[in-house]
Chain A
């Protein structure tokens, strides 16, 4: 067992626990995108960042890949974390504005403008689908190809591979495919529909029923 401190709370967790898991056990909310409890840690989206105090200095680390170690002092919601995270979310939305998951994240974390050029790639390269396919389905039908900005998820030779079991897991787990933002026109890449405008035309108070429609006519899930 190791003892760590998260936002001033001392907690004892088994060795091998990540800081993200330890924080969530304490009920502390840390957003995450590329993390899934059923898959191996990956550390690509960086929204789960926390600040780790090292004496006078501190560093920013992704909590989903950071193992709890004795004496670790973590702050999950410092000024520095918030500032960094906001820019990360801006970058996420600018590269994939059509994901409702990302639009919600932007709304929740107070991102109200995107200062970067919008280049919709329809994928945030979180690798959930790739890991799901490999680790849960033991298939490995999809993988990453290319480097840098040309990196993308693909199958070999662009055809459905033999290994594919048609489970649909890749779509189900995808933060872009499964929860697409259907807003007709984004302002500066931002929608803000569902989270920011909870007033619904048909009902006085939205109860989040599956039929709810918000002011802009989006379905609220």
Chain B
């Protein structure tokens, strides 16, 4: 029997049948198989569940799912039990038999596996009550925990392809574009361009043989960012559904997903999704009997950061070197093979079904005046809860860092947050109540970018940090145009000079001047934004630069050339731990008497300080 669905009604019937089948009184165990949890060994937890369910012979009582990322990667491996929604963290294979015998069979909650609220100290039973999730609004990401990404049936059962069916049977392409325009959706790939407007330009662009392309940008080259990956791995059909709707609205018959080649699982799950969608007649010819034809191919990227830039991506898709070109003629007019091409980010596409299902008005109610809906951030750095968070636009940085992120690690003081990936900017503590949206972030010298968020505490040196990002961008610049290639390299020289204690008066001004030139004259957006980390740290932490240059002092105690480790004779007990730990044998002293460090041989590794129990080693 062919599975192919030939009409919206058939899809509806299938969904109802799937729901009926799943309401058979079984419990469902969702094991998080996301990127973060894979690092914690979720595979072995999953296989243990498989063998244990078999051993206990309870396959008829419980269903097991390996799902996509749940977000709280810090606490992996995460296991959720449905329908009670019991949320277990840090699950190890040893815990598996107990979960089955206690929670599944006897409905007894295992307290030790619950999330302990760091403030009240009490355990939290449900995922949605964990503070990390409370302020989130997981419209896009929430389904990850509910479905097995390799099962189209799971997706259909939770309402998947509803939006496609509605779009094809009830809406004209122009209506869809109007809906997306009204929703206020802006591109999540970095630029924040209004999506509906882009679609409209592409639909209206002249093309000789009717060919138009829709492309999904899953290149995601920002270090530390993995939201697109988690979406593709955890819920590939949502992205695909968005693309099919977009293609119908734009009038395109073929699409590509350009995936970073370091993402094999994303490719695999997407490939499975494409095959399943074709089987069900949701992709290919005559989709859902509507007469609309569309198919998608996967292209694997070369792995360079700059290949995420639209013109470079299209060059790379054509098999050329992934290098940007001047964009005076936009890619929606002349893109891939010189045909109108509409490129959107993974997350942008995943927003589309939601807008079609719930309506532009509903969507536009979430967020701020200029930025609608939610945004997924990859929250990392010196905070308690790291992971992927999806928040409504307009939430403040403070809420993200303190309420969701749980505050700073080890009681250190918050210093700054870097948003927008490597070419974003640093936002200081004085702006921590800033509402997060496209325009506000740009206004303070940073950007939304693709949603990286790195929280820094007082132990971060801002000059060193700026240098780190410039180094990254030098590696990733394609090298075509002069200001980005040579300008960034000279910027690095100046920064290196400052951190090594060779800074001179005028360095800051030169950095600013050079930064402006790189911004003004670079060919593509990589160069245009590359000076952000330097310019924003000068704007907010100029004093720290000056300390380095004038006083040869690194206030955060990071720049090795500018610090010395000494032992405070008052606090030193002469225990001798530092002597044992110093790899250079630079510490000496009699037992029970204050020790001293030989500055000539000290390599400033900081091991003595780390190991001293009395905090007697100080950095000056």
Interface residues of A (CB under 8 A from B): 41, 43-46, 49, 59-62, 65-67, 80, 83-84, 87-88, 91-92, 94-95, 115-117, 119, 124-125, 127, 144, 146-151
Residues of A within 8 A of B475 (CB): 147-148
Smallest CB gap from A144: residue in B:
B321
Confirm or deny: B479 has a beta carbon within 8 angstroms of a beta carbon on chain A: yes
With A147-B475, A150-B479 known, 7 other A-B pairs at CB within 8 A are: A60-B521, A91-B482, A94-B486, A94-B490, A144-B321, A144-B479, A148-B476
Partner of A149, one of B304, B483, B489: B489
Partner of B482, one of A59, A92, A146, A148: A92
Contact at A124–B479, with CB atoms within 8 Å?
A: no
Contact at A67–B328, with CB atoms within 8 Å?
A: yes
Residues of B within 8 A of A94 (CB): 486, 490
Interface hits, B326-367 → A, CB 8 Å: 326, 328-329
Contact at B493–A117, with CB atoms within 8 Å?
A: yes
Among B187-195, B277-285, B512-520, the stretch that binds chain A is B512-520
Q: For the complex formed, measure the closest distance between the CB of B525 and the CB atoms of chain A, giving whole angstroms.
A: 13
Residues of A within 8 A of B493 (CB): 116-117
Most buried by A among B474, B478, B517: B517
Smallest CB gap from B490: residue in A:
A116
Residues of A within 8 A of B326 (CB): 41, 43, 62, 65-66
Partner of A44, one of B321, B476, B481: B481
Q: How far is the CA of A116 from the CA of B522 in the complex (A)?
A: 18
Contact at A60–B520, with CB atoms within 8 Å?
A: yes
Residues of B within 8 A of A65 (CB): 326, 328
Contact at A147–B520, with CB atoms within 8 Å?
A: no
Contact at B476–A43, with CB atoms within 8 Å?
A: no
Contact at A148–B479, with CB atoms within 8 Å?
A: yes
Contact at A149–B481, with CB atoms within 8 Å?
A: no
Confirm or deny: B80 has a beta carbon within 8 angstroms of a beta carbon on chain A: no
Partner of B490, one of A67, A117, A127: A117
Contact at A43–B523, with CB atoms within 8 Å?
A: yes
Partner of A84, one of B328, B479, B520: B520
Q: How far is the CA of A95 from the CA of B474 in the complex (A)?
A: 15
Confirm or deny: B212 has a beta carbon within 8 angstroms of a beta carbon on chain A: no
Contact at A67–B329, with CB atoms within 8 Å?
A: yes
Confirm or deny: B477 has a beta carbon within 8 angstroms of a beta carbon on chain A: yes
Smallest CB gap from B323: residue in A:
A144
Q: How far is the CA of A46 from the CA of B486 in the complex (A)?
A: 12
Q: For the complex formed, measure the closest distance between the CB of B594 and the CB atoms of chain A, giving whole angstroms.
A: 44
Most buried by A among B487, B490, B510: B490
- Could you list some 26 contacts between A and B, CB below 8 A? A44-B480, A45-B482, A60-B521, A65-B328, A87-B513, A88-B517, A91-B482, A91-B487, A91-B490, A115-B510, A116-B486, A116-B490, A117-B493, A125-B480, A146-B479, A147-B304, A147-B478, A147-B479, A148-B477, A148-B479, A148-B485, A149-B474, A149-B486, A149-B489, A151-B478, A151-B479
Smallest CB gap from A89: residue in B:
B482
Q: For the complex formed, measure the closest distance between the CB of A189 and the CB atoms of chain B, giving whole angstroms.
A: 12
Residues of A within 8 A of B479 (CB): 125, 144, 146-151
Partner of A147, one of B325, B328, B477, B521: B477
Contact at B483–A88, with CB atoms within 8 Å?
A: yes
Contact at A44–B328, with CB atoms within 8 Å?
A: no
Q: For the complex formed, measure the closest distance between the CB of A40 and the CB atoms of chain B, giving whole angstroms.
A: 10
Q: For the complex formed, measure the closest distance between the CB of B77 and the CB atoms of chain A, giving whole angstroms.
A: 38
Smallest CB gap from B326: residue in A:
A65
Residues of B within 8 A of A66 (CB): 326, 328
Residues of A within 8 A of B490 (CB): 91, 94, 116-117
Partner of B481, one of A43, A59, A95, A150: A43
Residues of A within 8 A of B489 (CB): 119, 149
Contact at A46–B482, with CB atoms within 8 Å?
A: yes
- B 470-513 binary contact with A (CB < 8 Å = 1; else 0): 00001111111111011101100100000000000000001001
Q: How far is the CA of A23 from the CA of B520 in the complex (A)?
A: 21
Q: How far is the CA of A115 from the CA of B479 in the complex (A)?
A: 21
Smallest CB gap from A126: residue in B:
B482
Smallest CB gap from B523: residue in A:
A43
Residues of A within 8 A of B321 (CB): 144
Smallest CB gap from B520: residue in A:
A60
Q: How far is the CA of A116 from the CA of B329 in the complex (A)?
A: 35
Q: For the complex formed, measure the closest distance between the CB of B309 and the CB atoms of chain A, giving whole angstroms.
A: 13
Contact at A149–B485, with CB atoms within 8 Å?
A: yes
Q: For the complex formed, measure the closest distance between the CB of A43 and the CB atoms of chain B, giving whole angstroms.
A: 5
Residues of A within 8 A of B485 (CB): 125, 148-149, 151
Q: How far is the CA of A88 from the CA of B522 in the complex (A)?
A: 10
Q: How far is the CA of A148 from the CA of B483 in the complex (A)?
A: 11
